[in-house]
Structure 1
Amino acid sequence: MRKQERNSSQKATIGRIVRYIRRYRIYLYLSLILAVVTVLLTLYVPKLTGRSVDYMIGKGKVDFYGVRGIIYKIICCAAITGAGQWLMNLCNNKMTFEVVRDIRNDAFEKIEKLPLSFIDAHPYGDIESRVIADADQFADGLLMGFTQLFSGVVTIVGTLAFMLSVNGKITLAVVVITPVSFLVAGFISKRTYSMFQKQTAIRGEQTGLINEMVEGQRVVKAYNQRAHVVADFDEINDRLTDTTLKAVFYSSITNPATRFVNSLVYTSVGIVGAFSVIGGTLTVGQLTAFLSYANQYTKPFNEISGVVTELQNAIACAARVFELIDEPAQIPDAEDAAAPQTFEGHVRLDQVDFSYTKDVPLIENLSLEAKPGQKVAIVGPTGCGKTTLINLLMRFYDVCGGSISVDGTDIRMLTRDALRSGYGMVLQDTWLKSGTIRENITMGNPDVSEEEMIRVAKTCHIHSFVMKLPKGYDTPVSDNGEDFSQGQKQLLCIARVMMCHPSMLILDEATSSIDTRTELKIQDAFGRMMEGHTSFIVAHRLSTIRTADVILVMKDGHIIEQGNHRQLMEAKGFYYNLYQSQFLGQAI
């Protein structure tokens, strides 16, 4: 059954590749025509060579005029063949890289449409490996296939036709031995596909580990985990080596096996041809042409066997890219979804249930209401569902039960773009894209004026340090801003949000990496910005939320307490103990 599934998967992958190729079939047709022309001219040369040999047999019987005419014809055939092969390679390259570009575009577009649940559940390195390394491997195999497969098949067919025109009996001897090459190639190709498929999967795993370790190198060194990381890498590398060696071993058998079969063909032609010359049914020149044809006939089998191996690898790589493309996209916006430009900020959660996995409930029967302009703080122990609640508000994840509404409209009846444009979000984990500082802080509002940008930058206390940089706001940012301190990156992210003038705000430990003095100034700036806007603040430092209108205390996915700071302290419940533990060192 597994074999049938593998064959079915392989056929489906080939079908997908063919559909991509159809978009550029004009290059395919041109390549086929040029392959036929170049092969026919190449095969015509041995026939001319055989004639020239017959012109030179016998002492004093050399036909110089005839030989000279043949030389001119050979030169013309060689020139046209060279030009044809150059054009054919041009068509093959154009077709191959257009196809790979389209596949990469589809894969990247799918990544943008995938739900965050998929991104969270898969190593980033494996996803990158599919789009980059696997696509490159596919391109190499496809290019080899186009370059050598077409001309190889045409050479085999054309050679048989030319040999038939010379002598049918010797041609029959060649044809009888030919199926052995196909049997050998078929036997090997069946075993190499699964090997290459496993190889690409392990390569993706290896890329994922490398990506993870490079990003976390400081942590690895800080905790002296270098030996452990190297051991993990060695284990994956050993598996990759073992799988690759097996794949290469089986694929390397192809060439010597087919060469052995080809030698049998050449020997058969030589023996049968020699007896035919002795018997007078074949001339020496015709035997010379036949031996040349036998060599050209067998040569494509070597190339095709190598191509088949590469195509097996290419198909396995393409299958991994197509797996990514075929992943279910996030649920599309409803056809009648609204797209308001602004929001009043009346947010309501009604009996919301949510879990990342079906068997492990996280949030159950959660209800709350945030009125326009309210500052809502969310506190609680680690793992209680604070960040999950933020993910639900932004609709990064959809609720499993209940509903969330903004201004009386279920967020599932709003377009995601409109909903997320209504929020400004600053996370504890900073992220800067490759580009300039200007492009990073104006990401949500690229049309902002220079004056407004500088005003906001001064409010966020980044203008002074930006102006000290060599190119100011046009200073390049790379590697997620590794040239900047964590605090500077967080200030840039805060400026990015302030530049958007959002209707609602989400702050998830937004000032965790900023010094106390700057934090007070930023809190003041946030305070002015949040006036009249609904704000959700996730905080671990409870001193930052004492002025919140409503404080929601979460535990195990439920709101266990609700009120302002004074009310909760007077109640002397969970919040009171949490607050006391931070400032007086008391246990909860």
Structure 2
Amino acid sequence: MPGPMGRGAASERAKDFKGTIKKLIAYIAHERVALVVSIACAIASVIFNVLGPRILGQATTELFNGLAAKVMGTGSIDFTKIGYILSMLLCLYVTSALMNLVQGWLMTGLTQRVCYRMRREIIAKVDRMPLSYFETNSVGDVMSRVTNDVDTLGQSLNQSVTQLITSITQIIGVAAMMLSVSPIMAGMTFLTVPVSLVLVVVVVRSSQRYFRRQQSILGMVDGIIEESFSGQSVIKVFNREERAVADFDVQNRNLYESGWRSQFFSGLMQPIMNFVANLAYVAVVIVGAFLAIAGTITLGDIQAFMQYVRNFTQPITQLSQVSNMLQMLSAAAERVFEFLGEPEETPDAATPELPPCRGEVDFEHVRFGYTPNKTIIHDFSCHVEPGQTVAIVGPTGAGKTTLMKLLMRFYDVNAGSITVDGVDLRDYARDDLRANFAMVLQDTWLFTGTIRENIRYGRAGASDEEVEAAARAALADHFIRTLPGGYDFELNEDASNVSQGQRQLLTIARAFIADRPILILDEATSNVDTRTEERIQRAMDALMQGRTSFVIAHRLSTIRNADKILVLRDGDIVESGTHEELLAKNGFYAELYNAQFAEGGEED
């Protein structure tokens, strides 16, 4: 299975920014009411803010005229009028703050609901994905899409939509107010816009590819970390700590390079826009002074205009920041939508009305390959009676586990058919088909939780008494009761606080409580010592009673009592029969058996 490095090439291909934004807009369309109200509140908040400087300018003009009249002895300061103006200003700002609060509350809720929905859809998508996807993609990369990319999308969406709307509204509103104050000074301010836009476009184009690469490399880094944690014992055994660190350093360095470049270009926005704003500010002050001297505008108008200059350049700066956030948003959303758009398992058929499964299985001229140009199973045929135990043996790569994947319909055959009780597997809904199977695998899978919960995983509605009965049947009851808490003993993340043999007995107990008519045992004793193997073998013998059982085993002595042994080589059955019959033939099975006996691995 390729590690996280396997996705490096794909991350460099061209990305569809516009297409991704369109998909995102369509995705959040069901939140249109909250979005529209939030946008309306944001616009109202900006409008009230934009009116503020002009009203404050009126208060300043009134105060200045009153002082001038008082000095000339022709009048006095009208504090009542000034108080009325300031009261109006306070009401505007309070209303603006309330509108801003409402839009923030609505937008935060919207983005969190979108993230919640995305995570749910990703997890639901995982359940619909074919097994081939998980065998060819990094776990860490998928985890990064669920965590990092969705979080980045949520944060960027929350900030970018609000800032985009408020910035555009503020630019339009401030421009209108500046024109109403002084078209001359407004024109001078507007001259800075093309300069700002050119600089923004240059910076955005430079930063875009680094933001996209940063998100992709982050998935690779997560994959390496996940693999290092899960394979820590192997890394230490082979003294590969330095190599593991070196492999991580390569991607960590790439992440550092992309990260600092993207953040550097993003950080250029603020100083560049401040520089342009300061140039406009200086020009407005100089021209405004001459206009005031000429009596064209009042002192309050100059004060208001100076505030408008700041308010005009500020949203341009925000728009430049929004452009960066939109790049991050697009990169993250594209990775999420890419995963959600991955091919799923072929649609299920509607399972016909059938009597309870008896366990009769037929393989008829089965042909299969994971890739079109490499066939693994060439022409496999076999009939299995209900309740029979069929052992499948052969060298590594012969196709033993592949046959079981086909039987469970993790993959569909390329040619031929597999039937259960005379019904083609493709005519079953997958859930209905797999409800007839229980599995005990070489790699024991137990989740963090109590032993009782792990056994009950085989049948969710099982009572505590049934759980304990299954454990007794699997010969696991004794060791469970010796643990602190017994059946309530908490297994850790990898169930490493119990032995390998004990983990295997727990999976057998899980299969017992599932009570399915067909059983698959895939090298279930290959990772344990001989004494533990004997105990597990006794538990499996009890489990196989009355069930159609398929047993894959390398230790051939464990399948001597099988009703039928199929010997596979290069995807074909080369021999079949009982243990004694195959030894008597002195063929390939006898060769495998004698090789194990010669190595001291088996006893007759």
Aligned: 1:184 with 2:199? yes
- Tell me which residue corresponds to 1:174: 189
- Tell me which residue corresponds to 2:450: 436
Aligned pairs for 1:148-547 (under 5 A) are 148-334=163-349, 336-338=350-352, 340=354, 342-547=356-561
- Tell me which residue corresponds to 1:557: 571
Please tell me the residue identity of whatever aligns with 2:255.
L
Work out the CA distance in 1 between the residues paired with 2:118 and 2:135. Answer: 23
- Tell me which residue corresponds to 1:577: 591
Identity %: 39
Work out the CA distance in 1 between the residues paired with 2:294 and 2:484. Answer: 89
Please tell me the residue identity of whatever aligns with 2:562.
A
User: In 1, are the aligned partners of 2:473 and 2:512 still within 8 Å (CA)?
Assistant: no
Q: Which of 35, 43, 59 is the matching residue for 1:36?
A: 43
Work out the CA distance in 2 between the residues paired with 1:127 and 1:34. Answer: 37
Work out the CA distance in 2 between the residues paired with 1:304 and 1:259. Answer: 13
Work out the CA distance in 1 between the residues paired with 2:530 and 2:162. Answer: 65
1:521 CA drift (Å): 4.2
Cα deviation digits, residues 117-148 of structure 1 (max 9, x gap): 01110010011111111111111211111332
Shifted more, 84-93 versus 464-473: the winner is 464-473
Work out the CA distance in 1 between the residues paired with 2:39 and 2:289. Answer: 36
1:586 CA drift (Å): 9.0
Work out the CA distance in 2 between the residues paired with 1:478 and 1:13. Answer: 40
Would the alpha carbon gap of residues 395 and 231 (structure 1) be closer, same or farther in structure 2, given more than 3 Å must change?
same
Aligned: 1:103 with 2:140? no
Shifted more, 252-261 versus 111-120: the winner is 252-261
SS at match of 1:24: helix
Work out the CA distance in 2 between the residues paired with 1:484 and 1:80. Answer: 63
- Tell me which residue corresponds to 2:29: 22
Would the alpha carbon gap of residues 586 and 487 (structure 1) be closer, same or farther in structure 2, given more than 3 Å must change?
closer
Work out the CA distance in 1 between the residues paired with 2:458 and 2:353. Answer: 17
Work out the CA distance in 1 between the residues paired with 2:352 and 2:268. Answer: 62
1:199 CA drift (Å): 1.3
Would the alpha carbon gap of residues 519 and 180 (structure 1) be closer, same or farther in structure 2, given more than 3 Å must change?
same
User: In 2, are the aligned partners of 1:490 and 1:514 still within 8 Å (CA)?
Assistant: no
SS at match of 2:224: helix
Work out the CA distance in 2 between the residues paired with 1:224 and 1:339. Answer: 58
1:514 CA drift (Å): 4.6
1:391 CA drift (Å): 0.7
The runs of 5 or more residues in structure 1 that have no matched partner are none
User: In 1, are the aligned partners of 2:390 and 2:550 still within 8 Å (CA)?
Assistant: yes
Work out the CA distance in 2 between the residues paired with 1:560 and 1:586. Answer: 25
1:339 CA drift (Å): 6.3
Please tell me the residue identity of whatever aligns with 2:45.
T
1:234 CA drift (Å): 0.9
Cα deviation digits, residues 75-119 of structure 1 (max 9, x gap): 322322222222221111011111111122222211111101011
Cα deviation digits, residues 192-240 of structure 1 (max 9, x gap): 2222111111111111111001100000000000111111111111111
User: In 2, are the aligned partners of 1:156 and 1:300 still within 8 Å (CA)?
Assistant: yes
User: In 2, are the aligned partners of 1:553 and 1:560 still within 8 Å (CA)?
Assistant: yes
SS at match of 2:458: coil
- Tell me which residue corresponds to 2:580: 566
1:190 CA drift (Å): 2.6
What TM-score comes out, normalization by structure 2 length?
0.92
SS at match of 2:413: coil
- Tell me which residue corresponds to 1:49: 56
SS at match of 1:112: helix
Shifted more, 457-466 versus 152-161: the winner is 457-466
- Tell me which residue corresponds to 2:130: 115
Work out the CA distance in 2 between the residues paired with 1:298 and 1:504. Answer: 72
Work out the CA distance in 2 between the residues paired with 1:37 and 1:444. Answer: 57
- Tell me which residue corresponds to 1:78: 93
Cα deviation digits, residues 527-572 of structure 1 (max 9, x gap): 3332332110000111110000111111111111111000000011
Work out the CA distance in 1 between the residues paired with 2:340 and 2:57. Answer: 55
User: In 2, are the aligned partners of 1:376 and 1:535 still within 8 Å (CA)?
Assistant: yes
Work out the CA distance in 1 between the residues paired with 2:355 and 2:457. Answer: 18
User: In 2, are the aligned partners of 1:339 and 1:415 still within 8 Å (CA)?
Assistant: no
SS at match of 1:259: helix
Work out the CA distance in 1 between the residues paired with 2:419 and 2:131. Answer: 21
User: In 1, are the aligned partners of 2:526 and 2:554 still within 8 Å (CA)?
Assistant: no
Work out the CA distance in 1 between the residues paired with 2:477 and 2:575. Answer: 41
Please tell me the residue identity of whatever aligns with 1:33.
A
Work out the CA distance in 2 between the residues paired with 1:466 and 1:271. Answer: 87
Please tell me the residue identity of whatever aligns with 2:584.
E
Please tell me the residue identity of whatever aligns with 1:565.
H
SS at match of 2:115: helix
User: In 2, are the aligned partners of 1:340 and 1:418 still within 8 Å (CA)?
Assistant: no
SS at match of 2:565: strand
Work out the CA distance in 2 between the residues paired with 1:516 and 1:217. Answer: 26
RMSD over aligned Cα, in angstroms? 2.1
SS at match of 2:366: strand
Cα deviation digits, residues 352-393 of structure 1 (max 9, x gap): 111122222211111111111111001111111111111111
What TM-score comes out, normalization by structure 1 length?
0.95
Please tell me the residue identity of whatever aligns with 1:52.
A
Would the alpha carbon gap of residues 165 and 472 (structure 1) be closer, same or farther in structure 2, given more than 3 Å must change?
farther
Would the alpha carbon gap of residues 292 and 341 (structure 1) be closer, same or farther in structure 2, given more than 3 Å must change?
farther
Q: In the comparison of the two structures, how many residue pairs are matched?
A: 583
Work out the CA distance in 2 between the residues paired with 1:330 and 1:90. Answer: 40
User: In 2, are the aligned partners of 1:354 and 1:361 still within 8 Å (CA)?
Assistant: yes
Cα deviation digits, residues 304-359 of structure 1 (max 9, x gap): 2112112201210110111000001111112x433646311111111111112222
Cα deviation digits, residues 462-521 of structure 1 (max 9, x gap): 223333444433333341323222222111111111101111110012233455445434
The runs of 5 or more residues in structure 2 that have no matched partner are 1-9, 71-75
Work out the CA distance in 2 between the residues paired with 1:66 and 1:172. Answer: 32
Work out the CA distance in 1 between the residues paired with 2:463 and 2:14. Answer: 58
Work out the CA distance in 2 between the residues paired with 1:343 and 1:519. Answer: 30
Aligned: 1:10 with 2:24? no
